[in-house]
Amino acid sequence: MDIKATRLFLVCLLPLPVVAADVISSGYREYQTPVNYNFFQVSLGGGEIIPDDFPNSKVSVSSLNGQLMLNESWLLGVNYKGRFTNNDESDARADYLTGMIGYRMLVEENTDIVVQGRLGYAWLESNYDNVDEVISEANFTSAINIGAYHGFTESFEGRFVVEYMDSKISNETSFELAGDYYFNSHFSFGGYGKYIIASRSDINHFGITAKFRF
């Protein structure tokens, strides 16, 4: 295929995501939920470890999250999260892959309460400056959370979520406050703040999110 034909082919493909989204977005509109539950989301964030026992302690977080509304009440989803911590003495990487089932309850015209359960696997790798080998751990992880979701306008929505996660690697209780603004019917940008009380150390981080609604 020559260059001109390739360019023409790519241009023809550009409208397809929007067309596909229009075709399969009717479920979200049908249920008239105050916020969007059908989406693919990318998040990036960073912050600090508390208490800062080691100099220059930093944390960075990235995640991919897909979620689908089965009917007016039930949700399914899958999530990947990678968390990287480093300081002057060590580096660590934790990866989490979980599946989710959730139940939605409408409590006010513009407010939902959602309860979610998660089950999956976690991997942790730690590298210390005074140790030649990389220390690895892996185990099953489970979590449960409850969140309040509110639609402020047709374009702006927010949420407050409390979650408890349990695994042999770490036990964590987290508090997240987040918001998303849809600048058209399918795409949004937003931000979040999250505080994690963990068995090893606490983590405070902030980040940005981008969503594609389908």
Question: Could you report the per-residue pLDDT of 84-135, keeping only the tens digit for each?
Answer: 988 777 788 899 999 999 999 999 989 999 999 999 999 988 887 666 667 7
Cα separation, 110 vs 156, in Å, equals: 11
Range in 58-72, 130-144, 157-171, 172-186 the model is least confident about: 130-144
Per the structure block, which two tokens stand in for 35?
């916020």
pLDDT band at 58 (very low <50, low <70, confident <90, very high): confident
Question: Could you report the per-residue pLDDT of 16-35, keeping only the tens digit for each?
Answer: 344 334 434 444 444 789 99
Cα separation, 210 vs 189, in Å, equals: 5
Measured between alpha carbons, how far is residue 196 from residues 112, 116, 163 in Å?
23, 18, 9
Which residues contact residue 85 at a Cβ distance below 8 angstroms, ignoring those fewer than 6 apart? 49, 57, 58, 59, 91, 92, 93, 94, 203
Domains for the chain: give ranges and CATH numbers.
27-213 (2.40.128.100)
Measured between alpha carbons, how far is residue 39 from residues 7, 36, 65, 76, 92 in Å?
29, 7, 8, 11, 30
Cα separation, 49 vs 202, in Å, equals: 6
Cα separation, 46 vs 203, in Å, equals: 10
pLDDT of residue 167: 87
pLDDT of residue 55: 66
